[in-house]
Every structure is written in C-alpha cells, then in structure tokens.
Chains A and B, each alone.
Chain A
Amino acid sequence: MASNGIKDKVAIISIGCTPFREHWDKSRDDLVIDATKQTFKSVGLTSADVDAYWIGTAQSGMSGLTLSIPLRLTGKPVTRVENFCATGSEALRQACYAVASGAYDVAMAVGVEKVKDSGYQGLNAFPYPTAGTNRTLTAAAMYSLVLPAYAEKYGIEEDELRMVVAKIAEKNHFNGARNPLAQFRRETSAEQICEMAPVAGRLSIFDCAGVADGAAAAIVVPAEKAYDYTDKPLFVKALSFVSGNGAGLMDPSYDYTTFPECEMAANDAYLQAGVSDPRKEIALAEVHDCFTPTELVLMEDLGFSERGQGWKDVMSGDFALDGVLPVNTDGGLKSFGHPVGASGIRMHYECWLQLRGEAPPERSIPETGKKLGLVHNLGGYPGEMVSFVSIMGTEIS
C-alpha cells in the first residue's frame, strides 16, 4: 500500500445534512438546495465563494449539471462522481485532493440521492445492457452469507450469532431514536428483530439499512485558512480508498468473514494518520452498516476487535454510545437511512457534531480527550467491493 496522504493539509469548515426521509414532497434539487444552503449559511458563504464542486450521486443524476443547474452556479467546475454506496465519500475525497493540490482554495462536496420516486422497494438496480450472465442476488442476500460463514469459522451457534447482529441493529436504533434527522426514530429490541420473518438468509428487514432520500454537503479549505471560517474546523488526517479486484467471488480461500478491501483501506488510513491502536485512539467511528453482519465484520476489519472477537465485543457493548469506542452514534445506515450518494458525507457530519461537542446531549459520546473520528464507507458486496476510510481530527498535530 503506497499513499502519501494529505494529513493536516485541508480542513472541513462546514457540513450540512438534510433529514433522511421518504421525502415525497421534495425533489432531488430541493434536497441539494437544502443541504448546501445550510452548509453555506453556517460559515457565511455563498455559492459564488466556492471555487469548485463535486456532486456525488449514484443514480439520481448525470454530470455536474445535477448541481450547477439547481444552484444556478456560474462559471464553476462541477464534477459528478459515482462509486456505489461510497459515492458521497468519493465526492468529499476529490474535493479534499483538489484543495490539497493548491488548485482551489474553497471546494464543496455534495452528496444526494432521490431513491423513493421509483415506486419500488429497496434501492434501484444499475441498468446498463448486459449479456444476462451477471449475478442477480440482492445485496441483502449477499451479506447474509456472512452469518453462517462467521458462525462456522468461530464455532458460534448460528442462533447466538443472529442475536449478536440483532444487537447491532438495536444499538443503532437506540442511537437513531436520539437523532432528529434520522429516518427511523423508534427503539427496537434485538429480541423483536430476531422474531421477524427472514427476507434474505437469516436477515429480516430490520437487519437492512433504511431506504431514504436525502442530501449532505461539506466545504473544504486549506488547513492554514480553516480558522478564518470557524473556530472548530475538522482537519483531514487520512483519506484512503481501495477498489477490489473481485477475486473474492472466485477465490476458494475467501470465506466471507472479512472484507479485505476494508482492512486494506483502514491500514492505509492508519498509516497516513499515524494511528497505531485504533480502538484506543479513535473517539468515534461512523461505519457502513448496510446490513447488520457488515458492521460485525467491520469491527474486525477496522481493527477495533481482534479476529473472531467482534461478536463478543458487540455483546459487551463496546460500540454503544457509552462504550470504549462508540460506533454509528447517529443511528448509522440502519436508522439514519441510506440515500446512497449522501451517506458518506452524512457520516462525516456526525463526526463533525460529535468532535465539536455539538451532538444533542442524549447521544453525545463521553468526553475522553480523544480527538479523532473515523468514517468507513463501502460499496458493493462481499468479494467485490470498494471501500473508503477517512480519519478526521480537531487539531493539527
């Protein structure tokens, strides 16, 4: 793994996020305008003050026009990016690199998805012409393969492991219930989730991310100018990205208990940021809990738990709001909802709130003196995925 990183070269000076909902009354453009308006306003900027834009959307628009038309931008470079469910993080990553390169002084990343206009359940497919030989399995079913594999590898009863991942949903619902922007704001017990009918393997609907419309936006400036805009900027310590080669699907040694792309991205990010013990050094992590088994495996891939110990740490409450390393304090994809293009920036929004001490008291993480937040955002499936990891900090080191 070879990346130089841009540690402490750029900072986020403002982030905004719309509620994630079934926004029947809001268009994609409305969501983009709502998220950016809030982001501009909190630092007293206008769209003209931003030099370049990145708009991330998986399926709700093509080209930079998706942003430049609703915001009526004049003479600005706007790039539309897509990287599966890591689309929002990709937009932010590009904006950070643009500022770090010196090409621009102020860049904005916007993520948006308008999912609920399709009339179908779940996320939309990516419809491009094929020979018809591609796999048709749903994402839920692909991730459901993790449960029996993990149970067998570590000698756990499947029923017990099913309860472990339900506990992850329970935790994220608990956190989401304390988040006014979240799609699902009702607490749900692991026992209730276990009793629900399975939809994919052992997973029920409540093991899946919420499907929502929403948008989020962030403004990035050079680190040395950050305090011109805000007293409490977030400095970018690490940005890593790994796009898998798909070998997991054809490699008989791949056992569906780890996502190597995520482990590689995390290791790169820790190197960039100088983190040696993430479990001890990270104040909170926002991770891609698209399905409950995903969060379980991520605890190990991100180095928060030893291999084969993640399930025990989940049951011990290590990742709860008051745990040693709170994970998905805003409810995660599970409870906050998952407008694909917006989710990556939404995760940074939660780090922003928590690290700046601005999260609502009922879901504030305990004061520990830790200054780092981690965001993990993935797209794809076990065996073939893209993975993003960033680390943000409140101080230049």
Chain B
Amino acid sequence: MGRRISETSLEEMATYCKGELGRYDKKTDEVTFELDDTNLPYLWSVEGIARLLRGILGVQRGLQEIKVSRGKYSVEVDLSVSGVRPFIAAFVAKGKKVDSQFIKQLVQLQEKFCDGYGRKRQKVSIGLYSYKRIKFPVSYKAARPESVRFVPLGFSEEMDLSEIIERHPKGKDYGWILKDFISYPVLVDGNGSVLSFPPIINSDSLGKVEEGDSDIFFEVTGTDEPSVILAANIFAYALSERGFELFTVEVKYPDRKLVCPVLRSETMRITRDQVRGLLGLDLKDSELKKLLERFGYSFNDYVVSIPPYRADIMHPFDVIEDVAIAYGFWNIPSKELESYSSGCSLPVVGFIDRVREIVIGLGYQELMSPILSNKAVLYDRMCTKDVGTVEIDNYMSELFSVVRTWLTPMNMEVLSKNKHVDFPQMIFEQGLVTERDCEKIADYEKISIVSSHSGADFTEAKQVLEYLMRQLGISFEIREAELGFLIPGRAAEVFVSRRRIGFLGEISPQVLENWGIEMPVAALELNVSALFDVSVKND
C-alpha cells in the first residue's frame, strides 16, 4: 500500500471493501477482512485490497494501468472444446522468485474465485504452471476420456480421464461438471505433455508452481467469456503489482484471435442529476473527479472509465455508490422523511390478537414452534393420515422436511418434553400452516389449544370452544366425528356456516403413548383464517 496505517484505522479500511475487520494478529502481522460483496472478486486478494486502499489513502489516483509486453506465445483452441468448455484466456508472468507466502495467497485468490464467482469451477477454473517446463504452443482441445493418460497432481500413477474422475479426490468433487459430456477438455503443450484436465486437476509434472520458481504460465477456462477474461485481468493486475513482467498470449480460436490479457476498460456515462438524485449530494465536477479517482476510476467530462478488474458495473448507480463510499457514508448528512402516511397492519392481525387475548385470559401459556416439521410428528405419532403436505425436495435434516399442516402435534411435542413440570399444563400455539390440495397450496392461520392434567376432558375443550365463540360472536355447531387421534365418542368437528373449521376432543391413549405422555390431554384446534372470513362477513 505504501503507507503505514494504525490498527484502529483497519476497521475503517475494511468498510471501504464492504467488509468487516475479522481480526488482526499482532504476532504475525496478519489481517483478516470478512467481505460481504460476492460480486467484487478482485478484492479477494491482498493485491486487490491494497490497490483499492492506495487510492482511498491518496497514494495513487485514477485508473491504474499495468504494463504488458508482447509475448510470442500462443494457445491453439480446437473446435472440439466449443461444446464443452469453450473459452480460455492466458498470459505469462516472469522475473520474480515466488515464496511460500506468495503461493499461499495466490492459491487463496484462485480457490475463492473458482469456488464463488466461478460457481464451484463450473463457470470458471484457473490453472497456474511453472513456465519453464512448458513448450509452446499450448493446445486446448476436447478428447475422449480413455484416449488421454497422465499423472494427476498428488498421485504417482498414470490414469486416464475417467479414472481421474472416479478416483482422484478432485475428480470426485468436480466430476459432476462434465457428467453430460462424452469428451473432456485437456491442455497439452508443444511436446504433447498434458498440462491439465480443466476444470478437474493439473498434471503432476507440469501443473504446479513451486517455491523458487520465477516464471509463471497462467490459464483460465470456462463457459462464460466475460468471466474468463475478468479472471485473467484480476490475476494480471495482482502479478504485475507483485513485480512480475507480463507477456501476452495469443488465443487462436478456429474463427478468431484474442490477445490476452484483454485489459480493455469499459466506459460509462453518468450525469450530475443522477448523482444528486441518488445521493442527495450536490458535488462539484472537481469533487466528483477526485472521489472517483480515489476509487480507481478515471473521470473525464462525466465519462467514467472502469478498471478492467471490475465486471460488476452494470448501471451508473454502481459507479455512484462508489462515489458515496469514497465520500464516506458518515460524512453524508441525513435527512428525515417528510411525507405523511398512516400505518396499518394486516386485517387478520387484529382478529388473531383478539383470539389470542381470549385464550390467554383463560390461563393458557402461549408457545411458538418452527413451521418446518416432519411426517412422523404430524401424522405417524398422531395416528392420522397425511391429506396434503408441502414437502421439501432437498431437506437438510429429516426433522425439518415438511411444512406443518396443523398445530396440535406441536403442542403434543411440548407436553412430551415437560412431563416433570408442574401440572396443569395449559398451552396453546397460534401460527401459520400450509395445506396442499393436489397442485394448490394455501397458508392458513390456525390455533391449537391443549390442556393436560389428571382431569382434562372433553368438557374442558368444549367450554373453551364455547367461550371463545361467544366472545367472538360467531355461531357454530359441532358434529360427532371419528378422528384417529381422538377417543371415539369424545371427538367432534366444528362447523361454521357449514364449513369444517376444526375439531375438539380427548386425545386417544395410543397417541399419548406414542408421545410418552402420561397425563390425559384435551385438545381444540381451529382454523383462524376461516373464522376471520366469517367474522368479516358478519360485520
């Protein structure tokens, strides 16, 4: 960076990178930044962060250019890769001995880039090689898996490409990327030696950079050309700033040629109105220029040149955000909203609160459970059948593999976990459930009210139902019902305007046994959304 900074200003420095200071280790002088922005991969390297902060601190100004000499190297791209992994960019960096610290940082940038921005290597993967072992031109082609054999990095035996996918750890990790293809991409040098098998693994003989090497061949392949070019640019800047001398590599596609790295900077026009409109700041041209230059842009009569290591700028607002960051958020005076608006909650919320208030008045303790549950809890233990549940395809844990359809099982679970707590246990939960009727999915607010003590019975549940409906002014009827989880003859369904909206009764001893509950339980569950619809109609 060319500047000493204090430990306390590290925190401020991190904010310019849209991150937080993770920690600073005094002993090793190592700083960790935790970065938020997944769209600014150039900051995933010490060189990128230093470059940004040099601008912020005024050590350098404006768009930084790097020197690249014309190289006599080429990569020949065979037509066969066009359907598999069509794009490649490359360059050569010479003249600087690498040490272990440098290799570590280089690998960190490589891995973070390929993993995040490169979509776990699918979109972009990067290879670094010791230049002196490679004979140019390098060719990039697709080959039948069994036709190419080489020793992959970290192994001592030769394998063909399918064997690598099956047996090499990286093959197991990234083989899925190639599963739909019959031929796989390979990079081969002028001697016919394999450099690598992108995006899986490099060769053991050519595919590594070691301490003491001073010349590097960089290559990046992928399925999205702008991302491939961006990766090459980010590495070119990083290596150039590390003191390497860069040389171009000519990529020869069957139909065109591309000299890499492509350090072209795009331009974008912004307006003063846009700056004023978005930030509420009236900046003079000279101020605007200064701020943009601190952030590594160049600014010329409202035309902004974007550094080649950034691909996140889509809209003038992206540039203007950087103006605000360079200006310092804390320097921007705040303004209060002035227009009047009256607040109101969802119509159902007021109704729900009335219902809860009535039930709490009866002495019930409210609970709140996760909405995700599982079929064993919802149906098996409750001795009842699934009549339509939203299930998760890719659940992490079977415990949370479906969206709940009713709430009484949640209360049963609570009772089962509190067998040694004072009775009576009177609990309720009010919350959302989701029901699925074939292809139709709907959310409902429900309430389940449960009472457990030695005298808990149907009468108690019915008393609660009648009290609640009386308070809400809703008329209802109950009909005897056979429900697997309630004792026959002590079970009823609740109807309002001929619509079935819930049930009440004594939980069957079989269900209690399934939950390991040793006290009688009386339960009442109602669809609050349905009650609300009725109450609205009544009004």
The answer to whether A binds B is no
A-side residues, CB < 8 A to B, are none
B-side residues, CB < 8 A to A, are none
